[in-house]
C-alpha cells in the first residue's frame, strides 16, 4: 500500500470535503422536501378516505365500468344493425306485416273475427319498435337524419297510436280505416 500524501490526508479531513457545498445542500434539501410533501399528501389522502364513508375511488371505478359497458353495448347494437342477416330479416317482417294487413282487411270485409290478426299486428309492431329502439340506442337522434328511419318512426308511431286508441269503425271512410291504409 503506497503511503498517503499530505494532500490526500488534507482532503480527507478538509471541512469542505466533509460538508458538501451549498449546491449539494440545496439538492439534498430539495429531495428531502419532496419526500416530505409526498408523505403529507399521502397522509391527507388517507385522512380524507377515513372521513368520507364512500370512497371516491370505488365510484370512479364503477362509473368507468358503467361507461365501458354502455359503449360496448352500443357497439353491439351497431353490429346487429349492420349484420348481413338483419335487413333481410326485417324485410321478411315487413312482408308478414303486409300479408297480415291484407288478411285483416279481408276478414273485416267478410265480417269475421280479427282478434288473431290484431294480435299478430301487435307482435309485428313490437318487432318494429324494437328495431327503432335499437337504432336510437346505436345512433342516437342522428338515426332520424335518414329519411327511411324518419318514415319508419312516423309509421310506427301512427300504428302504436292506432292500437292504443282504437277508433270506432263505423264503416267505410272512418278515420281508423284511413289510418290502416
CA distance linking residue 93 with residue 152, whole number of Å = 13
Supply 84's cell numbers: 348481413
Whether residue 79 lies inside any domain: the answer is: no
CA distance linking residue 84 with residue 152, whole number of Å = 20
CATH of the domain at 132: 1.20.120
Whether residue 113 lies inside any domain: the answer is: yes
Same domain assignment for residues 100 and 166: yes
Q: For the segment 122-141, what is each residue's pLDDT rounded down to a tens digit?
A: 999 999 999 999 999 998 88
Q: Note down the domain range covering 144.
A: 84-180
Same domain assignment for residues 102 and 44: no
Share of the chain above pLDDT 70, in %: 69
Same domain assignment for residues 93 and 159: yes
- CA 165 to mean position of chain CA atoms: 34
Q: For the segment 89-129, what is each residue's pLDDT rounded down to a tens digit?
A: 999 999 999 999 999 999 999 999 988 998 999 999 999 99
Whether residue 70 lies inside any domain: the answer is: no
Instruction: Determine the pLDDT at residue 159.
Output: 86
Whether residue 12 lies inside any domain: the answer is: yes
Same domain assignment for residues 91 and 42: no
Amino acid at each position: 500500500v503506497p503511503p498517503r500524501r499530505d494532500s490526500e490526508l488534507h482532503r480527507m479531513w478538509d471541512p469542505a470535503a466533509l460538508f458538501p457545498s451549498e449546491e449539494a445542500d440545496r439538492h439534498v434539501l430539495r429531495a428531502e422536501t419532496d419526500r416530505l410533501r409526498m408523505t403529507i399528501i399521502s397522509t391527507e389522502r388517507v385522512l380524507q378516505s377515513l372521513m368520507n364513508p364512500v370512497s371516491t375511488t370505488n365510484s370512479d371505478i364503477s362509473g368507468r365500468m358503467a361507461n365501458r359497458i354502455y359503449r360496448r353495448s352500443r357497439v353491439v347494437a351497431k353490429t346487429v344493425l349492420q349484420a348481413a342477416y338483419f335487413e333481410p330479416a326485417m324485410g321478411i317482417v315487413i312482408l308478414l306485416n303486409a300479408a297480415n294487413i291484407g288478411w285483416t282487411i279481408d276478414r273485416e270485409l267478410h265480417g269475421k273475427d280479427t282478434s288473431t290478426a290484431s294480435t299478430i299486428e301487435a307482435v309485428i309492431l313490437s318487432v318494429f319498435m324494437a328495431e327503432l329502439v335499437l337504432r336510437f340506442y346505436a345512433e342516437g337522434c342522428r338515426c332520424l337524419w335518414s329519411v327511411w328511419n324518419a318514415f319508419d318512426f312516423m309509421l310506427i308511431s301512427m300504428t302504436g297510436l292506432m292500437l292504443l286508441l282504437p277508433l270506432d269503425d263505423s264503416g267505410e271512410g272512418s278515420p281508423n280505416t284511413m289510418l290502416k291504409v
